[in-house]
Chains A and B, each alone.
Chain A
Amino acid sequence: MKYHDDLTRRYLKRRWAPWASTLAVTLGVFSLLTVLAVMEGFKVEMRERIRGTLSHLVVEADPFRGLVGEDSLLEAIRNTEGVEAAAPHVSTLALYKVGIMDHCVLRGIDPIPESKVSDLARYLLSDDEIDQMLSDKFSMLPPDREPSTAEEIAHVFSIERRRQIMSFRLNEDPGPGFTRESPPQAIIVGIEALRSFRLQMGDVVQISSYSPVTLEPCSGNFLVVGAFQSGVYEQDLRWAYTNIRALQDTLQLWDDSAEDMRISGISIKLEDFQKADEISETLHKEIQSRMSLPEDDPKSIPSRITSIETWEDKRANLIKAVEIEKRIISVLMLLIVAFASGMIFLILMLLVIEKERDLGVLRALGATRSGIVLLVLKQGMFLCTTGAILGLLSGWIFLENINEFHDFIFRMTGLQLFPPNVYYLERIPVVLRYQDVLLVCLPTLIFGFLGSVLPSMRAGRQDPIKALHHE
């Protein structure tokens, strides 16, 4: 109705209180949008980094029995439809001692196949890059950097490189049984292990663990020959790579009954990760049928395999944690919107009481009950949608320039809200998904409606005679 437009305009003009509720909605929408976009960006970034260090699928063996006869298994896996590459690995928890004692996750890899299944090639640092990283605590790899080739990775593990590295560390003792000419096996550590001075290039570290075969302690010496940066702090501090044969020897993985060296599992790269579940299903069947030796045969492979998991399964908790954080913060931010809707409720209630007489006059002039209800409802929804639009706009502008704002605050106050050394994020990641925008708008409008509906019902129920009775 025509009178709605004019009265809405007049009622909201020259009054500041209604706009306070709009401001509250703006604030709520702004915070909600910002939080969702940054958390989503953070999640995507995390996933990306975790994904790189893990392969698409991992065939995981029973930790105590390991996996034997990997050649035929690898063959079978590589021939499966949709599989691009497969590589064996051994992994163990280990303690190492240089100056201090610390623990790490040590993976024995076969360099050339490994380079085809994971992003190690992208994370492996050249010597120049290591120097640069160590001189600047916050520096990160440029994203468009050329990945190392399989040969380069193999070279890092090679005897020539170990000899060369030893030649720079004249004071380093290669350890019993080793000489400068036949140095210990190579180990590649994360850049944070170097940055935190736990380890140094050219260090000979003694690694200790338990052999899953003999269940006795075992140890071996390794020479730090390189470093990688995955971008996930925890991994860059605790993960280390060595040659699979060297680690098999150290861990005494020779399986007498099967007459083969054990491995811990097989990493698989797929042509299309979207098909991971499907392919893992096929692999299961494949392995079951092709390796159908009797259950008690030591070479029986299926009984030694515990799972075939995607990398997402393996790191589900980490990603879920971010997802849950995102949800919790969103709910908290929604409280701001709920608060704003409470403000709309109060303001409309006051308006209905203040304008009781006006509404009575309108009824006397022929306005319908529903017309009066709509008049009040429209005011509430107008305040709410204005707030939502302003919030979306300001949020969008803010997100577009979030790093500039961050830099500005840093320059002004020296406050680093997002320390790059924790998450290695030089820039605050932002991913604005339309689902999230919807997730912001919908509850806001619903809350706005809920806040407006009671006052408008009250306005509609008012008795015009009573309203007109007094001046």
Chain B
Amino acid sequence: MSDSSAPLPVVSVRNLERSFPLVNGEKLMVLKGLDLQIYEAEMVAIVGLSGVGKSTLLHCLGLLDTPSGGEITYRSGEKTWKTSQLDEDSRCQLRNHFIGFVFQFFHLLPDLNVLENVLLPSQVSRTSRAWNKNRDEFHGRAESLLQRVGLSGREKQAPGTLSGGERQRVAIARALMLSPPLLLCDEPTGNLDSRPSESIHELLRELHEDYSTSILVVTHDPDLAARGDRRLQMVDGRFEAESTS
């Protein structure tokens, strides 16, 4: 961050609100005017009690959910996108190219093998013809990612035959398939034992440095939280204190 040009936010959130209607007619306010900036090549950890709205924030950032108020701005180079101006198609496109998702429960497709799972993001936005034209390039990218997460030679294996830690590595490779500027991880090690957790933490940090991807990671794990450039504490729909490490 000692560069002369000031770092620019990849994503900035202003006054984000999200409420859910309850059966009794009232509203459950989950996100209450939340502000957040994530800069290029930054790793931010979010911690907070269960049910405080961390996943809700990630869903909003990942364009899976629509905020009730406020705005999110995505930026890549000169281009910016504002949530208020996105139509359904560009939301899908951003989800595909701009954002990588890593979930607590891995969410690999059991019918596809490891390599096919990693290739998936490149396939959802391309016609067969367009994809086949660049087939070798995609395969090369997927294989190098798998190698990078330590799973080379396991391409043809079914996800069901992998351990939890290995599955999460595949999921991470999948999230990075199209080199998204922003990686969203929702409790990536929440479902793993401490040993594989630790190696996932290391991997995330390494990838972050290798690919200079901005990472937003929600975690209960103090070890992972400590690896972030910043650590944000979420309390009652807002961020309470910021601590930089």
Is A275 part of the contact surface with B, judged by Cβ < 8 Å?
no
Cβ contact within 8 Å between A366 and B97: yes
A173 CB–B CB distance under 8 Å:
no
**Per-residue CB proximity of B165-183 to A under 8 Å, as 1/0?**
0000000001000000000
Judged by DSSP, the binding face of B is: helix
Q: Is B123 an interface residue (CB 8 A)?
A: yes
B92 in contact with A3 (CB, 8 Å): no
Which residues of the other chain, A, contact B110 by a CB distance below 8 angstroms?
Answer: 358
Of B124-132, B139-147, B218-226, the segment with at least 4 beta carbons within 8 Å of chain A is B124-132
| Interchain nearest-CB distance for B47 vs A (Å) | 21
Q: Which one of B59, B111, B127, B174 lies within 8 Å of A10 (CB-CB)?
A: B111
A471 (CB) vs chain B CBs: closest residue:
B105
Residue of B nearest to A470 (CB): B105
Which residue among B93, B96, B123, B124 has the maximum number of chain A CB atoms within 10 Å of its CB? B124
Q: Chain B: how many interface residues by the 8 Å CB criterion?
A: 35
* A215 neighbours in B (Cβ, 8 Å): none
Q: Which residue of A lies closest to B125 (CB)?
A: A366
- The A-contacting residues of B in range 92-113, CB under 8 angstroms, are 92-97, 101, 103, 105, 107, 109-112
Question: Which among A357, A367, A465 is the interface contact of B107 at CB below 8 angstroms?
Answer: A357
Interface status of B237 (Cβ within 8 A of chain A): no
Do A6 and B116 have beta carbons less than 8 Å apart?
yes
In the assembled complex, how far is the CB of residue B86 from the closest CB belonging to chain A, in whole angstroms?
13
In Å, the complex CA distance between A4 and B128 comes to 9
Q: B3 contacts the other chain (Cβ, under 8 Å)?
A: no
> Is B120 interfacial (CB 8 A cutoff)?
yes
* Contact of A145 with B by CB under 8 A: no
Tell me the chain B residues, 148-205 only, with Cβ under 8 Å from chain A. Answer: 174, 191
CA A468 to CA B128, docked complex, whole Å: 27
Q: At the interface, yes or no: B240 with Cβ under 8 Å from chain A?
A: no
B78 at the interface (CB under 8 A from A): no
Task: Pick the residue among A2, A371, A465, A471 that contacts B128 (CB under 8 A).
Answer: A2
- CB contacts (< 8 Å) of B124 on chain A: these are 1-3, 362, 365-367, 371
Chain A residues within 8 Å of B121, by CB: 365-366
Whether, in the assembled complex, B64 has its beta carbon less than 8 Å from a beta carbon of chain A, the answer is: yes
Q: Report if B210 contacts A (CB, 8 A).
A: no
Assess the B97–A10 pair: CB atoms within 8 A. Answer: no
Contact between B88 and A369, CB atoms less than 8 A apart: yes
A282 an interface residue at 8 Å Cβ cutoff? no
Say whether A361 contacts B131, CB under 8 Å: no
Please judge, given known A-B contacts A364-B64, A465-B59, whether A2 and B123 are in contact too, CB under 8 Å.
Answer: yes
Contact A1 B107 (CB under 8 A): no
In the complex, which residues of chain B have a beta carbon less than 8 angstroms from the beta carbon of A358? 109-111
CA distance A62 to B101 in the complex (A): 91
Smallest CB separation, B146 vs chain A (Å)? 17
State whether B95 touches A366 (Cβ < 8 A). Answer: yes
Q: Which of A236-279 contact B (CB under 8 A)?
A: none
Assess whether A5 is interfacial by the CB under 8 Å rule. Answer: yes
Does A324 sit at the interface, judged by CB under 8 A? Answer: no
- Asked if B62 and A364 sit within 8 Å, CB to CB, the answer is yes
Q: Which residue of A lies closest to B110 (CB)?
A: A358
Within 8 Å CB of A1, what residues of B? Answer: 123-128
User: B88, B89, B112: which contacts A6 (Cβ < 8 A)?
Assistant: B112
Name A354-377 residues within 8 Å CB distance of B.
Answer: 357-358, 360-369, 371
A364 to B124, CA, bound (A): 10
**Closest A residue by C-beta to B103:** A468
Complex contacts, B126 vs chain A, CB 8 Å: 1-2
Q: How far is the CB of B194 from chain A (nearest CB, A)?
A: 20
- Compute how far the CA of A1 lies from the CA of B96 in the bound complex, rounded to whole angstroms: 13
Q: Does A393 contact B (CB under 8 A)?
A: no
CB pair A364–B95 under 8 Å, yes or no, is: yes
Whether A63 is near chain B, meaning CB under 8 Å from some CB there, is no
Complex Cα distance, B231 from A38, in Å, reads 79
Question: B65 at interface (Cβ–Cβ under 8 A)?
Answer: yes
> In this complex, what residue of B is CB-closest to A464?
B64
Is A468's CB under 8 angstroms from B107's CB?
Answer: yes
Interface centre among A358, A365, A368 (most CB of B within 10 A): A365
Chain A residues contacting B65 (CB-CB under 8 Å) are 465
B59 to chain A, nearest CB (A): 5
Chain B residues near A (Cβ < 8 Å): 59, 62, 64-65, 88-89, 92-97, 101, 103, 105, 107, 109-112, 116, 120-128, 130-132, 174, 191
In addition to A365-B124, A366-B121, 5 A-B residue pairs with Cβ atoms within 8 Å of each other are A2-B128, A2-B130, A7-B111, A7-B112, A471-B191
Task: List 27 A-B pairs, Cβ < 8 Å.
Answer: A1-B123, A1-B125, A1-B127, A2-B123, A2-B132, A3-B120, A3-B123, A3-B124, A6-B112, A7-B111, A11-B111, A362-B120, A363-B64, A363-B95, A364-B62, A365-B96, A365-B101, A365-B124, A365-B174, A366-B95, A366-B96, A366-B121, A366-B124, A367-B92, A371-B124, A465-B65, A468-B64
Q: Which 7 A-B pairs have the closest CB atoms?
A: A366-B96, A2-B123, A2-B131, A10-B111, A3-B123, A471-B105, A367-B124
